[in-house]
Amino acid sequence: MAAWASGLRPTQVTTSCLILGAVGVSLGLSVRVLLNQNSTKKPIIIPSPRATQIPQLSKEETSSLPYPPDALPGARDVETPYGIIKVFEWGPEDGEKVLLLHGISTPCLSLGILGEALVEKGYRVMLFDFFGRGYSDTPTDIPFDIRLYSTQILLALVSSRLPWTGDNGFHIIGYSLGGGLAVSFAKYYSHMIRSLVLVASGGLIRSEHVSRRSRILYSEGVLPEHLLRWLVRRRITPQPATTTSEAKMASEVVATTSNTPEPSSKKHHKNSDASGGDSFDNAVLSPHRPNSTVSSVMAWQVQHQQGFLTAFMGSIRHAPIYEQREDWIKLGQLLAARRKASASDADEGAAAQQLPGLLGGKVLLVLGSTDPVIVKEELIHDATSVLGEDGFEAVLLDCGHEIVMTKGKEVAGLAAGFWSRI
């Protein structure tokens, strides 16, 4: 559970509960019906649109979707005990391998431009939809924490006919939630990871950015779960003549506006991507599909991915998004051990002492200068405190949280340059 959520108790939120209680009363019988729907047992696995929507569509209709099942090369459906995972893998078989991890709400199509750019540079890439996103099924009997996500990463890796695991097996590029997952995954599997590139990464978001409303909506045990789900669904479901906004979804993860005075360096965060700007929502996820914008894919997903609400709420509650200092401190220790071993290369026999993984003993942070979700000043400050000044390089691009879509080729170039130096 997120740090901010673990300390939440009903007595701490009296005012908000009263407000929501008043809303609940006004909903009347309709809410009572929703609360009484718990008579049917929930399925252990919720199928994705692969099973619920695609069989009902013609080839032409499927192709016209903002996110068709074959939107990226090398598609495969991987059967697992947790449900089917949609995986894409392509690129030169003898190229260095790169695993891409996407954000909390957009599926892996959001990393398609970055993936194609890496393949053009000679890398082998793998992407997959997290459970409850895109075309991956949704397990309902397990929390969406690092245990589930680590298992899914390993299941995707071993589904390849090529060897991905083992010492120095692959690079990871993690975006937003994917960055936080990459750090926590590295805590246990550092020997497999050649390097980490963290793009607009979650993991160290300060809990002060979690709004009071979000603390209520994503709590557990404060209000009935069916009421919370109804309220969240109502917030994220597209209304007539509107589209579902990824910016709106981002604002659920972190509050980007405040009633308190802000320093001039942060004033640009108001009216930016996570609070309603157009640059994120209109970002194109695929250069071959101009209709595949963030908003169109999100609208499709909210409507047709029946497990999305479970996955989204579960990830906010349990995934490594907020103040994961323990995991980042551990990563800092792992990186320092690599730097120490590298510094002793001049000693006789030192080569045999080299530790596998995390080559060079540092990670690359790529940030957007106007990103309202991952505030660059805060992340660099907090990363320095847990990784050390020698534990990372940081690069700033002129963009917001849509960085992997609008700057995918630039991110690929920065990653390749970083890998050539370590």
| Model confidence band, residue 170 (pLDDT cutoffs 50, 70, 90) | very high
- Listed range (179-193, 200-214, 250-264) with the worst mean pLDDT: 250-264
Given a cut of 80, whether residue 377 has pLDDT beyond it is yes
**Dist. CA 331–CA 201, nearest whole Å:** 14
Given a cut of 70, whether residue 412 has pLDDT beyond it is yes
**299 belongs to a structural domain:** yes
The range of the structural domain enclosing residue 23 comes to: 3-253+267-343+354-421
**319 belongs to a structural domain:** yes
Enumerate residues 6+ apart whose C-beta is below 8 A from 113.
285, 286, 287, 404, 405, 408, 409
Enumerate residues 6+ apart whose C-beta is below 8 A from 296.
66, 243
Enumerate residues 6+ apart whose C-beta is below 8 A from 268.
370
pTM over cut 0.85: yes
Q: What is the pLDDT of residues 134-146, one digit of tens each?
A: 999 999 999 999 9
**Dist. CA 279–CA 271, nearest whole Å:** 11
**260 belongs to a structural domain:** no
**185 belongs to a structural domain:** yes
**Dist. CA 150–CA 165, nearest whole Å:** 13
Q: What is the pLDDT of residues 40-82, one digit of tens each?
A: 567 899 999 999 999 999 999 999 999 999 999 999 999 999 9
How many domains does the chain fold into? 1
Tell me what the mean pLDDT of segment 289-297 comes to.
Answer: 87
**348 belongs to a structural domain:** no
CATH number of domain containing 210 = 3.40.50.1820
Largest CA-CA distance found in the chain, in angstroms, rounded: 78
